[in-house]
A and B are shown apart, each in its own frame.
Chain A
Amino acid sequence: MARPKSLRKVVKPPGFKGYKPYGASGTKGEAVELLYEEYEALKLADYDLMSHQEASELMGVSRATFARIYERARRKMAKALVEVKEIKSVYGHAWLDKSWFVCNHCDARFTMPSTMKERSCPVCKSFCIESLTDDK
């Protein structure tokens, strides 16, 4: 069974709350929401120039999960630039709550009610899950 470990610790949160385009004829639609972990993936790979292997180890996630977070970050940035949207940095929705878990296979986050017997992902049934709050 996978050892639960601390997770996706954001080494350093982004130093901004958001970005706004200027010189544009108004921004369109909703802001793009960049999660902290996406910001961090982008920083580690494209600013600190780490390999995906190193970056995933640092973030405490599998390489595949890292690749998915990184891909999502890049798409969001591209979308913001091309569609002239604001960028908002958002703390990963579930992080501050107790007893949330994340699936390292499909990236779903979920609670685990005490009545639940199976310790697996409620979506893909993977056992490769870890607690978002455990600090060991």
Chain B
Amino acid sequence: MKTLITSTEDKLNAAFDKRFGRAAWFCVLDESTGETAFYPNENINATGGAGTKAAEKVVELGVGKIISGDFGPKAKELLNKFNIQMVIIEEEDLSVKEIVERIKK
């Protein structure tokens, strides 16, 4: 299964971005191969509906689970509809790499 982690930059040791719709980058981890890929969030500066657009992007990427710090009501609704698992981590100062390692362990 593919897991998406919101990231501030396009590298593994970037800080975990706690926003979903307005995260700078999406890191997609393929749990079967352990490989990661980064996708820019094209809608980061959208005036409205960033959460909805991010959720649509997630569906397009074929992701089954998302790790972020928070989800807006619109994003939640859409992700629920598509049976995509939402995961909230509230810890401060985490890197994307640390989260990837937790999943892989």
A111 B85 Cβ-Cβ under 8 A = yes
Q: Chain A, 11-55, contact with B by CB distance < 8 Å: what is the 0/1 string? A: 000000000000000000000000100000000000000000000
Given contacts A123-B67, A123-B102, A124-B105, are A116 and B85 in contact (CB under 8 A)?
yes
Residues of chain A contacted by B103 (CB below 8 angstroms): 122-124
Residues of chain B contacted by A111 (CB below 8 angstroms): 79-80, 85-87
Alpha-carbon gap, A110 to B102, bound state (A): 15
Residues of chain B contacted by A72 (CB below 8 angstroms): 91
Chain B CB within 8 A of A106 CB: yes
Residues of chain A contacted by B87 (CB below 8 angstroms): 108-111, 122-123
B76 A107 Cβ-Cβ under 8 A = no
B83 A113 Cβ-Cβ under 8 A = yes
Q: Chain B, 56-76, contact with A by CB distance < 8 Å: what is the 0/1 string? A: 000000000101001000001
Chain A CB within 8 A of B84 CB: yes
Alpha-carbon gap, A34 to B88, bound state (A): 16
Q: What residue in chain B is nearest A109 (Cβ atoms)?
A: B88
Alpha-carbon gap, A111 to B80, bound state (A): 8
Alpha-carbon gap, A125 to B31, bound state (A): 13
For residue B32, give the distance in angstroms from its CB to the closest CB of chain A: 15
For residue B93, give the distance in angstroms from its CB to the closest CB of chain A: 10
B105 A110 Cβ-Cβ under 8 A = no
Residues of chain B contacted by A93 (CB below 8 angstroms): 70, 88, 90
Chain A CB within 8 A of B99 CB: yes
Alpha-carbon gap, A125 to B3, bound state (A): 14
Alpha-carbon gap, A44 to B83, bound state (A): 38
Chain B CB within 8 A of A67 CB: no
A35 B90 Cβ-Cβ under 8 A = yes
Other A-B pairs, 5, CB within 8 Å; known A94-B88, A111-B85:
A97-B76, A112-B85, A113-B84, A122-B67, A123-B89
28 A-B pairs within 8 Å (CB atoms) are namely A35-B90, A72-B91, A75-B92, A93-B70, A93-B88, A93-B90, A97-B76, A107-B89, A108-B67, A108-B87, A109-B88, A110-B85, A110-B86, A111-B80, A111-B85, A111-B86, A113-B84, A113-B85, A114-B83, A115-B83, A122-B65, A122-B67, A122-B87, A122-B103, A123-B89, A123-B99, A123-B102, A125-B105
